[in-house]
């Protein structure tokens, strides 16, 4: 049983993420949770409103969110009437990243799927602030879907790795099951100026091989130190449908995420981006 959490702001971007998720997991029995967390519109007025009025506004916003979620649930059932999927709706007052974290823990969520940016995000940027916050701080795999991305059959996955840290078996199993479902090819990319691996790296590489024993995998090693350039070049030169990376302490991805925007590093991501979390959970 797969458990998927989909945060939504009811924008086209978030609906596109819903469509991608329902198609990606269409062969699996899944519990899908649609989550709308709100606070901004109510907080804007709190400073100048009496508590009773604020409470009334909050309840009205909550009811509207519940109504919108129910309408969204009906839309999903119309374009994806899958008997393997059970849809649940959650509307609550609070910050998105806190709500996502709470529900990940409460329901033991396998993956969070969301648009790369929300309704108000700048079209020039790749990731909106909510998506970046969830990727940074939620201890669960996060799959971010670009707004205009429509192909939901990932045939080629790119997995950059430095083989330095052991991976979480549960999260590798998620990647393996996606690849197996779509008979995908997985390219593991190692960028280094050193030709040989340390004993620890060799052990971690063997662990990856064992974890992906049911998948078609290819190992690539690129000489150099510019990981960004190597990833961008590989995506340009090969028909990659999904980028898979791991967020962990002192990793390349962590360095990217703790910049103000991913664009400052130069990583160009216009395909689905699956972030695994090698953090305590």
* Residue carrying the six token digits 């909550």: 62
Q: Are residues 8 and 136 in the same domain?
A: yes
Sheet holding 185-192, edge to edge: 85-93, 30-38, 2-7, 111-115, 142-145, 273-277, 242-247, 156-160, 185-192, 216-223
pLDDT above 80 for 251: no
Residue 197 and residue 266 in one domain: yes
Q: Are residues 134 and 169 in the same domain?
A: no
For the ranges 28-42, 63-77, 235-249, the one whose mean pLDDT is highest: 63-77
Q: Please, which pLDDT band fits residue 255 given cuts at 50, 70 and 90?
A: low
Nearest residue to 190 (alpha-carbon basis) of 161, 158, 214:
161
When divided into structural domains, the chain yields a total of 2
pLDDT tens, residue by residue, 127-160 = 778 888 898 889 999 999 998 777 789 999 999 9
Residue 235 has pLDDT above 90, yes or no: yes
pLDDT of residue 206: 96
In this prediction, residue 238 has a pLDDT band, given cuts at 50, 70 and 90, of very high
| In-domain check, residue 150 | no
CATH number for 243? 3.40.50.620
- Judge if 7 and 139 occupy the same domain: yes
Question: Which of residues 145, 177, 204 is at a domain's end?
Answer: 145
Q: How far apart are CA 275 and CA 49, in angstroms?
A: 41
Domain encompassing residue 85: 2-145
Please tell me the predicted confidence (pLDDT) of residue 144. Answer: 94
Among the candidates 96, 117, 145, a domain finishes at 145
Domain boundary among 105, 123, 145: 145
Which of 27-36, 102-111, 212-221, 260-269 is the least confident region?
260-269
- Please tell me the pTM assigned to this model: 0.89
pLDDT band (50, 70, 90) for residue 279: low
The predicted model gives 161-179 an average pLDDT of: 92
């Amino acid at each position: 049983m797969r458990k998927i959490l989909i945060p939504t702001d009811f924008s086209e971007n978030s609906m596109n993420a819903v469509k991608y998720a329902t198609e990606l997991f269409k062969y699996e029995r899944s519990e899908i949770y649609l989550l709308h967390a709100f606070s901004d519109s109510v907080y804007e007025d709190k400073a100048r409103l009496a508590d009773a009025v604020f409470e009334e506004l909050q309840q009205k916003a909550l009811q509207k969110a519940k109504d919108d979620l129910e309408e969204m649930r009906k839309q999903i059932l119309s374009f994806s009437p899958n008997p393997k999927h059970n849809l649940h709706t959650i509307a609550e007052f609070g910050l998105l990243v806190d709500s996502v974290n709470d529900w990940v823990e409460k329901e033991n969520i396998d993956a969070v799927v969301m648009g790369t940016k929300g309704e108000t995000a700048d079209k020039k940027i790749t990731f909106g602030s909510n998506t970046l916050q969830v990727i940074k701080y939620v201890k669960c795999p996060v799959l971010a879907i670009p707004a205009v991305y429509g192909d939901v059959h990932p045939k080629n996955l790119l997995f950059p790795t430095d083989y330095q840290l052991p991976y979480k078996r549960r999260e590798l199993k998620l990647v393996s099951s996606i690849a197996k479902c779509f008979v995908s090819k997985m390219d593991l990319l190692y960028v280094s100026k050193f030709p040989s691996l340390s004993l620890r790296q060799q052990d971690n590489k063997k662990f990856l091989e064992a974890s992906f024993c049911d998948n078609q995998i290819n190992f690539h090693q690129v000489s150099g130190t510019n990981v960004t350039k190597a990833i961008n070049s590989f995506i340009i030169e090969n028909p990659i449908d999904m980028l898979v990376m791991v967020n962990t302490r002192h990793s390349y991805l962590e360095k990217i995420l703790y910049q103000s925007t991913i664009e400052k590093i130069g990583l160009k991501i216009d395909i689905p981006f699956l972030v695994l979390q090698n953090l305590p959970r």
